[in-house]
Structure 1
Amino acid sequence: MTTWRGAVRRVEPHLPVLLALTVAAATWASATGGLGVRAPLPGVVVLLVALATGAAVLASRPWVLPAVAAASWLLLAAWAPVVVASWRAGVGLRGRPLAAYLLGTVPVMLASVAVGGAMGGERRLVVATPGNAVLFYAWLVIAPAVAGLWIGARRDALAALRDRADRLEREQEAQAERVRVEERARIAREMHDVVAHRVSLMVVHAGALEVTTADPATVEAAALIRSTGRAALTDLREVLGVLRQGPPLPSPGWDAVDDLVRESRATGLRVSRADEGTPGPVPGAVARTVHRVVQEGLTNVRKHAPDAAVDVRLRHLADRIEVAVRNDPSDRPGPVLPGAGLGLVGLRERVELTGGRLTAGPTPAGGFLLCALVPVGEPT
């Protein structure tokens, strides 16, 4: 079936030329007696009329083929151009134009009867007798026109179905987009009502503690909590803006990785940062993924090994970026922090969406290594 459809698609652009050659050959065969009545005209005239019928099939003006078909029927009793002209009329014409074509064929057929009667012989027997004249009119005019009407109606029905399917698809896409927008707005409202409210309270209480306490260590810790909470509110507002409006997230660059390192050092982590290679321009999705890997690695260290030394290393290669967060063994567990335990799962999915690879696991020395290879180009 596939091979057949492919052959049809290859032949389809050449169908008008093939039809024109077929009509010209059939006209010649009809006028020479092979497929019809032999014409008494010279062979050169017959050849010119046959070529004219083939050219009329390719003509751009719709009236050319009916005119040439009428002339060839009166001169040569050639049936092929009449059949094609009637078929095209049925396919392309409706209402008054089609009625005008059918009425116009009546005097042509009557004139053909008169010509056949005047010529006598075989021409008179074939086209001039009343029974044959009626049969020829039905076969040459009515039947092709009816077939053309059926094909045209089927084509119009298929076009209407395609238009309806396209319209329904557009409506479904618009409906799906409306649902996505409403869902983003709902999630944004819930996040704002729950998360933003609690983080705001945390910032307010941390600010109050910073002002009222006299202990320098407590003041420093309260200031850190307040600044971290305000940064979290800023990030949350960006996420809520994306959920409400749908613009792309801002693309954090390499400076954002430095910010993560500085924030982690401010919390007491012993973090070192090293780069290998020359940083170059990368797509926003790649920069966000690298940022997210470093963020997840440092978050896990704060949770599980807050006293361990951490090494953040970025290797800028020709076609990819290798980012690694490695920490040494820890002598004491970190504070109990809430979490779903799905951070690495989501991070692995995010890295794999870029065409990269993520590995995470303990090191031989007893520490932990989070490593990701992120392609710089688009995923294949």
Structure 2
Amino acid sequence: MRVNRQMTPLLLGVAVFTVSLGSASGGLGVVSGLPFPLPLAAATAAGAAAWWARRSWWPLALVGAAAYVALVMWPPLVVASYHAGTRLRRTRDIALYLGAAGAVLAASVGAGRLAGGTRELATATAANAVLMIVAAMVLPLVYGLWIRSRRDVLAAARERADRLEREQVLRAEQARDQERARIAREMHDVVAHRVSLMVLHAGALELGARDERTAGTAAVIGGIGREALANLREVLGVLRSPGQPAPLAPQPTLADLDRLLDQSRALGIPVTRHDHGEPRPLRSTVERTAYRVVQEALTNVHKHAAGAPTDVHVRFLAGELRVEVSNRPARGDAVPDAAPDAAPDAVPDAVPLPGSGWGLAGLRERVELLGGTLRTGPCDGGGFGVVAEIPLEAA
């Protein structure tokens, strides 16, 4: 497309030169009687002016007027009139151009009468003179005006469409911002308030506990609650200021895995970690996803199989990191199936913990975004297992 646009002025110049030379050499049955170099020079000037017309059409109009009066060379006038129609916007300018057309007509009639013969018949008679000037100047001018009007309409339509699209985007962004603000308010007023109460009650229980075990458990609950409040504060900052996110704390990686396991142990779940292969630094996205896999799996153990012995296997393989979390039946109970939607088996009288129902689904999306796979289901010996395979070269 760019090559064609660059070639169009050159092709137009060649066409005007060729047709002009033919018309000056008797193409209309009019022989000027002038030496051949003069029509050749006029045709060359007309071709060059036509090539330049996209930048400025006035030289072509002047060359066309002079060539038409002297040699009845009409192609430059046709192209110049078309360009005048596409460029002239004020009524006064169009009227001046039509006045110039009348002047060219009068000069052509005078030249025809002086030349006599065929030239006088073609350009000096009233009918032929009007027909020639209408065909060479008026009709191309009208066609150029129509083309310009059509372009203006299309440009206005495109501008209107772009404006409507921008307004739609702004409305969508405004609706998004309002929804984010509403979610932030709800989270602050409901979730943050409840978690704050939980932390306060845990602190009171820690201070008033009569045995060390209860005080330790209350301290763990208070610490987890404070971490939840910190994370919630960061999320609220992002929701309220999407353009300028609040500075976030470092995201947990495999280096924080032992602290996560200690929290589960403090809440009564015996967790054993097994590392396989040679540990080595991995990409932050890989380590963060592995941490979230273990975190979600332990959360499900707390909710559905509290007290069940749990094994966490971290396997450093050649091309991937494999994380396996599985729990076994607790304290000689019947073989439990700690599926996320099952009722808790380890503590029959406990009130089931509420859940969003999207934990494993969101976890699967997180793993698959890195090109990995997540498998969940009952284990052969009882309990429930979560296996995540994360490629080391994940983006």
Q: State TM-score, norm by structure 1.
A: 0.87
Secondary structure in 1 matching 2:26:
coil
Tell me the residue number matched to 1:271: 272
| Runs (5+) with no aligned partner, structure 2 | 334-344
Alignment of 1:1-380 (within 5 A): 11-34=4-27, 37-59=30-52, 60-95=55-90, 96-246=92-242, 247=245, 252-254=251-253, 255-267=255-267, 268-272=269-273, 274=275, 276=278, 278-282=280-284, 288-305=288-305, 306-313=307-314, 315=316, 321-331=320-330, 332=333, 333-334=345-346, 336-367=352-383, 368-373=385-390, 376-378=393-395
Q: Measure, in 2, the Cα distance between the counterparts of 1:115 and 1:375.
A: 89
Q: Measure, in 2, the Cα distance between the counterparts of 1:277 and 1:10.
A: 58
Q: 8 Å contact 2:85–2:143 — kept in the other structure?
A: yes
Q: 8 Å contact 2:367–2:374 — kept in the other structure?
A: yes
CA distances 1:192-243 after superposition (whole Å, capped 9, x unpaired): 1111111111111111111112111111111111111111111111111111
Q: Measure, in 2, the Cα distance between the counterparts of 1:288 and 1:120.
A: 97
What's the % identity of the aligned pairs?
46
1:42: Cα distance to partner?
A: 2.7
Q: Measure, in 1, the Cα distance between the counterparts of 2:117 and 2:278.
A: 101
1:360: Cα distance to partner?
A: 2.0
Secondary structure in 2 matching 1:302:
helix
Q: 8 Å contact 1:116–1:124 — kept in the other structure?
A: yes
Judge which range, 180-189 or 58-67, deviates more.
58-67
1:375: Cα distance to partner?
A: 6.7
**1:119 counterpart letter in structure 2:** A
Tell me the residue number matched to 1:5: none
1:257: Cα distance to partner?
A: 4.2
1:329: Cα distance to partner?
A: 2.3
Tell me the residue number matched to 2:340: none
1:265: Cα distance to partner?
A: 3.8
Q: Measure, in 2, the Cα distance between the counterparts of 1:370 and 1:182.
A: 39
Q: 8 Å contact 1:27–1:81 — kept in the other structure?
A: yes
1:334: Cα distance to partner?
A: 4.3
Q: Measure, in 2, the Cα distance between the counterparts of 1:352 and 1:31.
A: 76
Q: Measure, in 1, the Cα distance between the counterparts of 2:210 and 2:369.
A: 50
1:338: Cα distance to partner?
A: 1.5
Q: Measure, in 1, the Cα distance between the counterparts of 2:274 and 2:169.
A: 46
Q: 8 Å contact 2:264–2:298 — kept in the other structure?
A: yes
Q: 8 Å contact 1:328–1:365 — kept in the other structure?
A: no
Q: 8 Å contact 1:265–1:271 — kept in the other structure?
A: no
Secondary structure in 2 matching 1:358:
strand
1:250: Cα distance to partner?
A: 5.7
| Runs (5+) with no aligned partner, structure 1 | 1-7
Q: Measure, in 1, the Cα distance between the counterparts of 2:250 and 2:139.
A: 69
Q: 8 Å contact 1:251–1:288 — kept in the other structure?
A: no
**1:205 counterpart letter in structure 2:** H
**2:17 counterpart letter in structure 1:** A
Secondary structure in 2 matching 1:167:
helix
Task: Indicate the RMSD between aligned Cα atoms, in angstroms.
Answer: 2.6
CA distances 1:314-366 after superposition (whole Å, capped 9, x unpaired): 64766xx5341322422353453221332112222333344443222234444
Q: Measure, in 1, the Cα distance between the counterparts of 2:390 and 2:28.
A: 76
Q: State TM-score, norm by structure 2.
A: 0.84
Q: 8 Å contact 1:261–1:273 — kept in the other structure?
A: no
CA distances 1:267-311 after superposition (whole Å, capped 9, x unpaired): 34413153756324456xx56544432321222233334422322
Secondary structure in 1 matching 2:156:
helix
